[in-house]
């Protein structure tokens, strides 16, 4: 029994188109250094990169990004999205 393979193709095309649109928007709003940083982060922490990408695309579609985001601005966004790390001190008696 063979299964029709055409059922998966429209979904794949839609996902591919969405990914292409996302990349196009990010190209427009990020300077090359910031894009490289975001791509590096995507390799190590994909969920953090996705969160930042969604934030940037949301801001861009609302018109809240006046120009391109520099690497330093991206660093600030990354710092603001990360959860603060807790420090524990042990006092020896």
**Residues in contact with 73: Cβ distance below 8 Å, sequence separation at least 6, in sequence order:** 34
Q: How does pLDDT run across 55-78, given as a tens digit for each residue?
A: 999 999 898 888 899 999 999 998
Q: How does pLDDT run across 26-60, given as a tens digit for each residue?
A: 999 999 999 999 999 999 999 999 999 999 999 99
CATH architecture of 30-82: Orthogonal Bundle (1.10)
pTM: 0.70
Q: Which residue, 16, 15, 37, is CA-closest to 26?
A: 37
Domain ranges of the chain: 30-82
């Amino acid at each position: 029994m063979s299964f029709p393979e055409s059922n998966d193709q429209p979904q794949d095309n839609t996902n591919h188109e969405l990914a292409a649109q996302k990349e196009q928007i990010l190209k427009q709003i990020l300077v090359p250094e910031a894009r490289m940083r975001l791509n590096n982060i995507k390799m190590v922490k994909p969920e953090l990169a996705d969160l930042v990408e969604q934030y940037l695309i949301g801001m861009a579609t609302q018109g809240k990004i006046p120009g391109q985001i520099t690497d330093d601005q991206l660093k600030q966004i990354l710092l603001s999205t990360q959860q603060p790390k807790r420090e524990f001190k042990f006092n020896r008696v």
